[in-house]
Amino acid sequence: MQVRRIAGALGAEIQGVDLGQLLTPEISTAIRNLLNEHEVLFFRGQTMEPAQQRDLASIFGPLQTHPAYGTVEGIPEVMILESTAENPSKIEVWHSDMTFRQHPPSVTVLRGMVIPNVGGDTLFASMTSAHDALSEGMKSYLEGLSAVHDFAQGFRESLAEPGGRERLADALADNPPVRHPVIQTHPETGKKVLFVNALFTTHIEGIPALESSAVLNFLYQHAALPEHTCRFQWTPDSVVLWDNRSTQHKPVNDFLPAPRCLHRVVSEGDQPY
């Protein structure tokens, strides 16, 4: 297994591993350790079936489904993220996956299926690096605060479409707003991470609305500073694993009218603390 770091804050490209094969306990442990170290791992030339992608994600724990995305037939854990000229992606901001859940995903496994010739990169940011770069005063201020994360906030464009509330009624009912600490401790590394994002976080509890908005906007800008980030250029059969507890990501939707399709599987994480 060869490991090549691609940025100072996070990210490593891994060669010499066939993720489509049944992974030995030693390889599985090595991948988990590399993910804890680099936060996002990039693999190229990985041929696998959806069931194999599901099995790969399962090494990180039980799998979650998503209330709003289509899935591969017969394999509900494999979500289809497709963007076309007729139905372009509505998610264009930095975020962590599914933080509207009480137990957000721990690890996301994303595979490139249909990749445009130009564009469609994904940006990643380390929330460990973002936390560590905060002033000691800001860290002290944020410790102990909790923020609200809401499915309705993240899917507000879909809900505003004709029939959107009816189509997503069950998802709304099953996913009421939840509270997560603004600063969390990663359950495996013990490192502190920043845990708010522009897609799902609505406000910080216990402080005035204007203060909450100002603090969150600062944190969103701070988290996306270039020194906390890396960028991945997709190719067909690329697979990316990232730690959803300690990173954010942002799709770059600069490829339309070309289509783009990805398959995603997520493993369930611990309740943030």
Residue-wise pLDDT for 172-191, tens only, equals 888 899 999 999 999 999 99
pLDDT value for 22: 83
Residue 159 is predicted with a pLDDT of 72
> Among 38, 54, 97, 180, which one carries the catalytic annotation?
97
Question: Tell me, what's the pLDDT at 271?
Answer: 60
**How many percent of the chain have pLDDT more than 70?**
99
Amino acid at 189: T
Residue in the block written with tokens 């993220």: 81
| Alpha-carbon distance values, 92 to 37, 122, 198, 220, 266 (Å) | 27, 10, 10, 14, 20
Find the catalytic residue in 54, 249, 260, 263: 249
264 catalytic residue (yes or no): yes
Q: Which of 54, 101, 203, 264 is catalytic?
A: 264
* Angstrom distance (rounded) from CA 45 to CA 178: 39
Compute the distance between CA of residue 235 and CA of residue 113 in angstroms, rounded to an integer: 9
**pLDDT reported for residue 156:** 77
Q: pLDDT digit string (tens) for 23-67?
A: 899 999 999 999 999 999 999 999 999 999 999 999 998 998 877
pLDDT at 273 over 70: no
Residue 272's pLDDT is: 57
249 belongs to the catalytic site: yes
- 115 pLDDT more than 80: yes
Interior CA angle at 58 toward 253 and 5, to 5°? 55
Q: Is 97 a catalytic residue?
A: yes
Q: Is omega for the bond preceding 67 within 30 degrees of 0, making it cis?
A: no
State the amino acid at position 142 in one-letter form.
L
User: Which range (74-78, 136-140, 164-168) has the least confidence?
Assistant: 164-168
Question: Distance between CA atoms of 267 and 138, rounded to whole angstroms?
Answer: 32
Query: What is the pLDDT confidence band of residue 128, given thresholds at 50, 70 and 90?
Result: very high
Catalytic residue among 95, 111, 149, 186: 95
Indicate whether this model's pTM tops 0.85: yes
